[in-house]
Amino acid sequence: MEVRTDRLRALIVDDEAPARRRLRKLLAGFIDERAVELVGEACDGIEALELLSKGNVDVVFLDIQMPELSGFNVLERLPPEARPIVVFTTAYDSYALRAFEANAIDYLLKPVSRDRLEEALDRARRIRFGPTSPKKADRRLDDLLDWLQTQRDSSTSDEKNESVRQLSVPYRDRILLIPIERVISAEIDEGITRVFAREDDLPSAKPRIRQHVVNYTLDQLEAMLPSDRFMRVHRSSIVHLDHIQELIPWFSGRYKLVMTGGHEVIASRERSKHLKDTLMI
């Protein structure tokens, strides 16, 4: 097979192994077509800076929320001339999504779909190999970083600590805004966080429950959700107290929680007593 002269050298940056694995798998088809060369992966911002400093990257798929250095922090530390074409990957940073759209910056919602990835690659190829200078894309990226800095400067610490009223979650090619009243539980399994929520607020003997894969960690969700309505009942699960319908004694002093719609969550032994004391007031 003939090697394409417009092959993109790509770098994946994401602190979540499942997200890197999914993107690597999706890119594999384009690699087979000689359209992309995967030059490396980074699991945090520090490693990303090291790889990007080598200057052999055409496009970076950059996660926003990472420990120590976020995706934005990585770009702020790179000289403008050293920045490759950037495609952000995110699942929940809604204010940043608005900024991306305003500045025509490309982004992919997690879980990433093949069609959207192909669009992002085509766009990156036009910037990298087309007749238009990449300087326009660089200016858009600078405008985005300036906008984000303005948001940081204008926000107060109290505002940052406010509980959220809704969660933004990816669904196909859009973002769903789910009021926290509908959230039944959040659970993590094999590194993947899922939010379980009822479909609507209409009375029903057995409401329909839908699960959504999100990019939040449980620690992030615990910090965001109001503590008087949500409780961490296990290291792998958070529940909405108002959606608990039954406490069923389980093994080793634990409780099985029957939630709205029949969804079940097992509380740890250590947290079962605290949960019972909270609900029996």
Tell me the pLDDT tens digit for each residue of 71-80. Answer: 888 888 888 7
Q: State mean pLDDT over 192-209.
A: 80
Question: pLDDT at position 1, please?
Answer: 45
Confidence of residue 162 (pLDDT cuts 50, 70, 90): low
Quick: pLDDT tens for 59-70: 999 998 888 788
Tell how many helices (H) and how many strands (E) occur in the chain.
Answer: 9, 15
Q: Are strands 255-259 and 244-249 parallel, antiparallel or unpaired?
A: antiparallel
Residue 173 has pLDDT above 70, yes or no: yes
Q: State mean pLDDT over 248-255.
A: 88
User: Which is more confident, 3 or 64?
Assistant: 64
Residue type, 244: I
Q: Report the percentage of the chain scoring pLDDT > 70.
A: 82
Rounded to whole angstroms, the Cα distance separating 105 from 174 reads 16
pTM above 0.85, yes or no: no
Around Cβ 238, how many Cβ atoms within 10 Å? 22
Length of the chain: 281
Tokens of 240: 């909405």
Rounded to whole angstroms, the Cα distance separating 127 from 85 reads 8
Residues 6+ apart with CB under 8 A from 39: 9, 10, 11, 51, 56, 57
Q: Which helix (H) or strand (E) holds 8?
A: strand 8-13
**Structural domains in the chain, sorted by start:** 8-154 (3.40.50.2300), 163-279 (2.40.50.1020)
Q: What one-character-per-residue DSSP string does 37-94 give?
A: EEEEEESSHHHHHHHHTT---SEEEEES--SSS-HHHHHHHS-GGG--EEEEEESS-H
Q: Are strands 36-42 and 85-90 parallel, antiparallel or unpaired?
A: unpaired
Q: State mean pLDDT over 97-120.
A: 79
Q: State mean pLDDT over 241-266.
A: 92
Chain-wide mean pLDDT for the chain? 82
Confidence of residue 159 (pLDDT cuts 50, 70, 90): very low
Q: State mean pLDDT over 200-207.
A: 68
Task: Give the residues across from 209 on adjacent strands.
Answer: 198
Residue 156 has pLDDT above 70, yes or no: no
Q: Is the separation of the CB atoms in 144 and 103 below 8 Å?
A: yes
Q: Which helix (H) or strand (E) holds 88?
A: strand 85-90
